[in-house]
Amino acid sequence: MTALDAATKTRADSRNADRLIVAVPSKGRLQENAFAFFARAGLELQQGRGARDYRGVIAGLDNVEAAFLSASEITGRLARGEVHFGVTGEDLVREEISDVRQRVELLAPLGFGSANVVVAVPQAWIDVRDMADLADVAGGFRARHGRGLRVATKYVNTTRRFFAAHAISDYRIVESSGATEGAPAAGSADLIVDITTTGATLSANALKILDDGVILRSQANLVASLAAPWGEQAREAARIILSRIAAEEEARTTRELRTRLGEVTDKLLRKAEAKFGATLRERNGNGSVTFAAPANKVASLADWLIAHGAQTVTSGKLDYVFRADNELWGRLAARLDGD
C-alpha cells in the first residue's frame, strides 16, 4: 500500500467508516468502459481534481466513494474487504482469490474486457489436440527429457487447478508476467497458459489453443466484497447503485413488444413465455398486449405473433426497468446476511 493509499484509507476510516467504496480501474480502455457502464446506469463517476487523483465520488449519491486503482489491485482489495464494490476481470478474481465463494460475489458480467484464459501449445505438436493428449505427453516427458514439462504463465493458481482437474501433475510453472506467448519460441517453456482475445498473438507465435483448453471465458465483472464492513449506509448505497444497474441492464437486454391480437388466451401467453421468454406487461380489453422479451428473441417472437393473427408488431427500447424487487441486491443481501 502506498503512502497516499494509506492516507486515503485512514482519512476515509476516520471521517466516515460507514460509506460504500467502489473501486474502478484507473486507466486505459478498462477505465473508459467502466465509466461508460456506470454512466449508462445513470451513475456518473467523478474523479477528483485531476487525472492523478485516485479518489472520486458518484454524482448525487451520498456515502459513496470511488477509488481508482489498477485491476489487480482491485481484486486484492475486494478479497481483503478494503473496498465494497469493484470492477475487475473474472480471470484475476479466479487467479488471485483462493476462496472466491467465501470472499466475494460476482454480481454481474459487464460485457467488456472479454478474453479467454487458454492452454496453448506449439502448433508443431500435431499429436496434441486436447488436454488428455497433454496429460499423456506430460506423463512421458520426464523419462525422455529428464525434466517435467514447463508451462509459462502468470495464472499460476488457475493453471494448477485446471491441470489438476485433468490429472496432469508432472510439470513446472515458469512464472511470466509479460510476453508469455514468446516463451516457447525463446526456449524458456514448452507451452503456455495465457489470456487471449482473438488468438492472433498466439498464432503469430506458432501456438494453438487445445480443443478443450479454454480454462475460463473471462470478462470484466462487477464484484462485491463479502469481507468489507457493510454498515447500514453502505448497504443502502449499494442497494441504490444495484437497482440502477439492474434497471439499465434489464432495459438493455429486453425489448417491449406491442401488438393487437384477436384473442389473448392463457395458453397463448404460456407458449410465448415457454418459447421466447416473453412475459406479459400489459393487456387491454380490446386485444392489445405488451410483452417484455429478450432482445435477441424479438424477431422470432414477432413472426410468431403475426402467425397468430397480429397485423403489426412494434418493438421498442427502454431506458430503465426499475423493479421493487431487485435481483442483484437481493442476491448480495442474501450473501451478506449469511445466505
Partner 1 sequence: MTLANYRPTDPTRIEATLRHFVAEGFTRCEPGLLQPAGVFLDRLGEDFRGRLYLTSDGGDGELCLRPEYTIPVCLNYLASPDAGQPAALAYGGAIFRAGEGETLQAGLESFGRDDREAADAEILGVALDAAKEAGAATLKLRLGDAGLVKTFLDRLDLPPAWRRRFEIGHARGESPSKALKPPQRKENGVGAGVLAALEKVDAAGAKKLIEDLLSIAGISTVGGRSSGEIAERFLEQASLEDGAGVSAEKRALLEAFFEIEGSPDSASAKLRRLADSARLDLGFALDSFDTRSSFIAARGLALDSMTFSASFARRLDYYSGFVFEAWAANRPDQAPAIAGGRYDRLLRTLGAKSDIPAVGAAIWVDRLSGDTV
Torsion of CA 36, 39, 43, 46, to 10 degrees: 70
**Interaction of residue 320 with partner 1, rule CB under 8 A:** no
- Spatial distance between the Cα atoms of 246 and 61, rounded to a whole number of angstroms: 17
Selected from 65, 95, 96, 190, the binder of partner 1 by CB under 8 A is 190
H or E stretch at 301: helix 298-307
Please count the residues of this chain forming the interface with partner 1, following the rule CB under 8 A.
45
Q: How far is the CB of 60 from partner 1 (least distance, A)?
A: 45
**Interaction of residue 123 with partner 1, rule CB under 8 A:** yes
C-alpha distances (whole Å) from 97 to each of 83, 100, 160, 238 are 15, 6, 14, 22
Which CB, 56 or 76, lies closer to partner 1?
76
All three cell numbers of 174, joined, read 515458469
Closest CA to 67 of 42, 40, 88: 88
Which CB, 112 or 125, lies closer to partner 1?
125
Q: How far is the CB of 337 from partner 1 (least distance, A)?
A: 25
Binding pattern to partner 1, positions 208-247, x when CB under 8 A?
Answer: ---x------------------------------------
All three cell numbers of 328, joined, read 442483484
All three cell numbers of 182, joined, read 514468446
Q: How far is the CB of 139 from partner 1 (least distance, A)?
A: 5
**Interaction of residue 122 with partner 1, rule CB under 8 A:** yes
- Spatial distance between the Cα atoms of 233 and 155, rounded to a whole number of angstroms: 37
Sequence-ordered list of residues with C-beta below 8 angstroms from that of 107, at least 6 positions apart, any chain: 85, 221, 222, 223, 224, 242, 328, 331, 332
Which CB, 38 or 171, lies closer to partner 1?
171
Which amino acid is it at 159?
T
**Range 128-167, binding partner 1 (CB under 8 A):** 129-130, 132-133, 135-137, 139-140, 142, 144-151, 156-157, 159-160, 163-164, 167
Selected from 4, 51, 179, 206, the binder of partner 1 by CB under 8 A is 206
Which residues in this chain contact partner 1 in the complex, by CB under 8 A? 121-127, 129-130, 132-133, 135-137, 139-140, 142, 144-151, 156-157, 159-160, 163-164, 167, 169-173, 184-185, 187, 189-191, 206, 211
